[in-house]
Amino acid sequence: MAVNELVEEITGKLGQETNLSDWLNVDQSMINGFAEATKDHQWIHVDVERSAKDSPFGGTVAHGFLTLSLIPYLNGMVDATKPAYPGIKLAVNYGLNRVRFPNPVAAGSKVRSRSKLAQVDKINEECIQVVQEVTIEIDGQEKPACVAETVSRYYF
């Protein structure tokens, strides 16, 4: 499919939900692994005993950036066998327009992503740029963990 045809097709889906992921458990082991990788060992993330006693959240919580970093996985963008669009050679995380963390993810919580197509632009004959509105929901919580606009570039 030519890039122009793909842009036209995608433009017709603006505002529509494009992804609803399965639930993913964010356990203490995942939080500790993220702390190791990022060198962010703030006690509200890794000190289970102190967090249970002193944290306003009643226990440890995931790093906001851990929640944010789960978006590619939850949106299925890391599965090379299931490309977002036919003919993709390469998908690149181009950035973020806006990110908020309205609710912490307690250790042991389940999260999932819900995405809507916000914008699509042709960059050139081999590349399109897609903006998604992504909401990371927490099982059993009304308020989401993260709301972000992701910007991806797809090369054909």
Block means of pLDDT (10 residues each) for the chain, 156 residues, are: 84 92 97 98 98 97 98 83 81 95 98 97 95 98 98 94
| pTM of the entire predicted model | 0.89
**How many domains are there within the chain?**
1
Beta strands in 10-139 (DSSP E): 17-20, 24-26, 90-100, 109-124, 127-138
CATH number, domain of 131, equals: 3.10.129.10
**Residue 107 located in a structural domain:** yes
Residue 134 Cα to chain centre, angstroms = 6
44 in a domain, yes or no? no
Residue 19 falls inside a structural domain: yes
Give the model's pLDDT for residue 47: 98
Give the tokens for residue 59.
């226990």
The verdict on residue 37 lying in a domain is no
30 assigned to some structural domain? no
Determine, yes or no, domain membership for 36.
no
Question: 115: domain range?
Answer: 3-25+67-155
The predicted pLDDT at position 3 comes to: 86
pLDDT the model gives residue 38: 98
User: What pLDDT, on the 0 to 100 scale, is given for residue 86?
Assistant: 80
- Is 111 within a domain? yes
The verdict on residue 10 lying in a domain is: yes
CB 60 within 8 A of CB 32: no
Cα 120 from Cα 6, distance rounded (Å)? 10
